[in-house]
Amino acid sequence: MRKYIILFLQHLSEYSTYRMRLLVTILQGFVTPLFLLIVLSWARPISSVSVSDLLPYYLLVGLIYPLTRSRIDEFIDESATSGEVNNFLVKPLSFYKFMLTSDLSWKTLNLITLFPFILAAYLLLTPSGSVPQNLSSFSLSLLVTGISFLISFNFSFLIGLFSFWLDEFWAIHNIKHVVVNFLGGVVLPYSFFPLWATSLLKYSPFPYMLTWPVRVLRGQFSSSEIPISLFWLALIGLAVVFFQKLAIRRYSHTAG
């Protein structure tokens, strides 16, 4: 455990020097929401939802998105292609824990940078309430942000493992990106989805991967979401353990 803490601090120190990369990552979180706001400004309101109602939602999505999304599948593909995976076959380091430590340190730096902006946006754009209620809701959003990141990371890691079998992995990565962003509520909030779709989606992992903290901040939270999210976190985690063993075994045989 100690070696991963040291590794985390090393990554954190290293990433803190990448100020331009950090800025680009944060700005990327606003690209999709900004584009959709422009498009939807020309659209007719759907049911009781108006375009003006979407501004607070998309602003919070832009702030939360860099904290919950994971692109670790890209780095797994690069590691498999470049042969960097060999380091984990001879060193006493877990491939999964190394990737998690690396991604977690980057998210920590993002959180430190974005925290005051998220707090300000929450206080200005969400329904007002008593101070204890606001603090409770904000604290809960931090908890679900952590769960969302872990689900997103595990899902991305699982997808990335398929790069050990596929030569053209980018197609799978792009499909994952589109599906997760759409079903995860980044492209459109769930108020735009048919009722039957939202009823089905709440039992899938997608609502808990990217925009769950946004819904918590906006007071759209149900206690039943916690066990569902933990179920998917555990299930995807077990799938990661299983497929990682197969992937490393395949890589070892291929490299040998």
Q: Which of 82, 42, 214, 94 has the alpha carbon at shortest distance from 144?
A: 214
Q: What is the pLDDT of residue 81?
A: 83
Task: Name the residue ranges covered by the structural domains of the chain.
Answer: 2-255
Buried b (16+ CB within 10 A) or exposed e, 2-19: eeeeebbeebbeebeeee
pLDDT tens sequence across 205-245: 999 998 899 888 888 888 889 999 999 999 999 999 999 98
Three-class SS state of 213: helix
Classify each residue of 57-71 as buried b or exposed e, where b means 16 or more C-beta atoms within 10 Å of its C-beta. bbbbbbbbbbbbbbb
Give the whole-angstrom CA distance, residue 226 versus residue 147: 9
| Sequence-ordered alpha helix ranges (H) in the chain | 2-15, 19-40, 51-68, 72-82, 86-90, 95-125, 131-161, 170-183, 195-201, 212-217, 225-255
Sign of CA dihedral 151, 157, 162, 168: positive
Among candidate residues 178, 160, 177, the one with its CA nearest the CA of residue 169: 160
Instruction: Tell me the per-residue pLDDT of 126-159, one tens digit each, with 9 for 90 and over.
Output: 665 544 456 777 788 889 999 999 999 999 999 9
C-alpha R_g of the chain: 19
Side chain identity at residue 154, one-letter code: N
CA-based torsion, 214, 215, 218, 224: positive or negative: negative
Tokens of 87: 């380091």
Q: Virtual CA dihedral for 52, 58, 60, 65, nearest 10 degrees? A: 180
Instruction: Evaluate if residue 195 carries a pLDDT over 60.
Output: yes
For 40-66, what is each residue's pLDDT tens digit? 666 554 555 566 667 788 888 888 888
